[in-house]
């Protein structure tokens, strides 16, 4: 019982309670108070009145900002996930095909940078991407460009940041999948006349589907709600729901609307998560 109970207590403490609090706030009204929202329940003169304000949710539809922030977040997260897959797949494949003795060393190379502060590493990218940063200085010195490229505070920088920050989440599931790939499948394909690239396309890639989906979900889901990267590397036009959420909470101090944004984001992310879960159980049943 206790063994099963512990994860449930964990879920209750760190998921259900905070969610319930946020859910509650999303139905409140903004108030100049501490905390800055009204109570839902009021008891006066032997009457219990419940004030549910659905205006916050309606507001999300009224103001175009939120919908476009959602869509833009999904788009950027999807794009970054695809880029992370493009970068991560060859990495994972290379490590999985490396000599068993150095595989762990290579994996360590992927994970090691993540032992330093996340914030620090994102700040480092500012130094790399800015107008008189590493890349621009190098390109100017080499004479490839005459005027510095504007890279920092653009969507491009956000893509770079997300791909960089979430790359291990793509590489590790892909690696665990690819390292298990039985070499005799590849030999069988070659034996039957498939050139290496066809073997990759028709055997390796379909067989690593599970790793691709797992890695993509692990990058996509946190990337949708990403706040720090668009805040530090993104420009004023960079529209992401995490940034909107932050501004709602701390600049506008509109906790109820911010909570409604958070709840809506969660609902939006449940769909891919459910699909991922379904796929995983299906895969487990098959094997």
Partner 1 sequence: MHIINFDRAGGRSPAMGAPYESTRNNARIRGGRGFRAKKFDAITAVDNVDLNIKKGEVFALLGASGCGKTTLLRLLAGFEIPTDGQIVIDGEDMQSIQPYNRPVNMMFQSYALFPHMNVSKNIAFGLKQDRVPRAKIKQRVDELLELVHMKELFNRFPHQLSGGQRQRVALARSLAKSPKLLLLDEPMAALDKKLREQMQLEVVNIIESVGVTCVMVTHDQEEAMTMATRIGVMHDGKLLQTGTPHKVYEYPNCRRTAEFIGTVNTFSGTVIENSADHVIIDAPELNREIYVDHGISGSVGTDIWVAVRPEKMTIDTTPPSGEYNHARGVVEEIAYVGGLSIYHVKTQSGMIIRVTLANVDRLAEGRITWDDEVYLSWQPGAAVVLTW
Which residues sit at the interface with partner 1, rule CB under 8 A? 182, 184-185, 187-196, 198, 202-203, 206-207, 209, 286-287
Minimal distance in Å, beta carbon 207 to partner 1?
A: 6
H/E element holding 25? helix 17-25
The gap from C-alpha 222 to its chain's centroid, in whole angstroms, comes to 2
Minimal distance in Å, beta carbon 283 to partner 1?
A: 11
Sequence-ordered list of residues with C-beta below 8 angstroms from that of 251, at least 6 positions apart, any chain: none
Q: Which is nearer to partner 1, 209 or 277 (CB)?
A: 209
Treating both helix axes as pointing N-terminal to C-terminal, what angle do 100-111 and 155-179 enclose, rounded to 10 degrees?
Answer: 150
Q: Which is nearer to partner 1, 6 or 188 (CB)?
A: 188
Q: Which is nearer to partner 1, 92 or 203 (CB)?
A: 203
CA distance readout (Å), 29 to 35, 57, 147, 199, 265: 11, 12, 51, 60, 20
Quickly count: other Cβ atoms within 10 Å of residue 215's Cβ.
29
Contact present, 166 and 219 (Cβ < 8 Å): yes
Q: Which is nearer to partner 1, 71 or 188 (CB)?
A: 188
Minimal distance in Å, beta carbon 208 to partner 1?
A: 10
Q: Which is nearer to partner 1, 207 or 228 (CB)?
A: 207
With residues binned 3-state (H G I as helix, E B as strand, rest as coil), the percentages for the chain, rounded to 5, are 75, 5, 20
Minimal distance in Å, beta carbon 102 to partner 1?
A: 18
Identify the sign of the CA torsion 214, 272, 202, 79. negative
Minimal distance in Å, beta carbon 209 to partner 1?
A: 8
DSSP 8-class letter at 114:
G
Minimal distance in Å, beta carbon 204 to partner 1?
A: 11
Contact present, 70 and 241 (Cβ < 8 Å): yes
Q: Which is nearer to partner 1, 142 or 285 (CB)?
A: 285
């Amino acid at each position: 019982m206790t063994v099963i109970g512990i994860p449930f207590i964990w879920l209750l403490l760190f998921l259900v309670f905070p969610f319930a609090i946020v859910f509650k706030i999303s139905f409140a009204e903004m108030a100049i108070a501490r905390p800055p929202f009204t109570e839902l329940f009021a008891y006066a003169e032997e009457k219990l009145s419940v004030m549910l304000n659905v205006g916050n949710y309606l507001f999300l539809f009224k103001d175009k900002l939120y919908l476009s922030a959602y869509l833009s977040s999904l788009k950027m997260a999807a794009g970054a996930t695809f880029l992370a897959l493009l970068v991560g797949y060859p990495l994972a494949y290379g490590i999985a095909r490396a000599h068993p003795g150095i595989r762990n060393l290579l994996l360590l190379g992927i994970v090691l940078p993540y032992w330093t502060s996340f914030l620090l590493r994102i700040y480092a990218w500012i130094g790399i991407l800015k107008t008189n940063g590493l890349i621009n200085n190098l390109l100017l010195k080499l004479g490839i460009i005459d005027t510095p490229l504007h890279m920092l505070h653009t969507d491009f920088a956000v893509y770079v940041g997300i791909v960089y920050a979430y790359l291990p989440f793509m590489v590790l599931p892909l690696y665990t999948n690819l390292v298990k790939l039985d070499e005799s499948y590849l030999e069988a394909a070659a034996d039957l006349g498939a050139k290496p690239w066809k073997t990759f396309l028709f055997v390796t890639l379909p067989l690593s589907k599970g790793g691709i989906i797992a890695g993509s979900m692990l990058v996509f889901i946190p990337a949708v709600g990403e706040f720090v990267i668009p805040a530090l590397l993104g420009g004023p036009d960079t529209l992401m729901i995490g940034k909107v959420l932050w501004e709602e909470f701390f600049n506008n101090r509109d906790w109820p609307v911010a909570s409604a944004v958070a709840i809506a984001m969660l609902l939006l992310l449940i769909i891919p998560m459910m699909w991922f879960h379904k796929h995983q159980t299906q895969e487990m049943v098959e094997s």
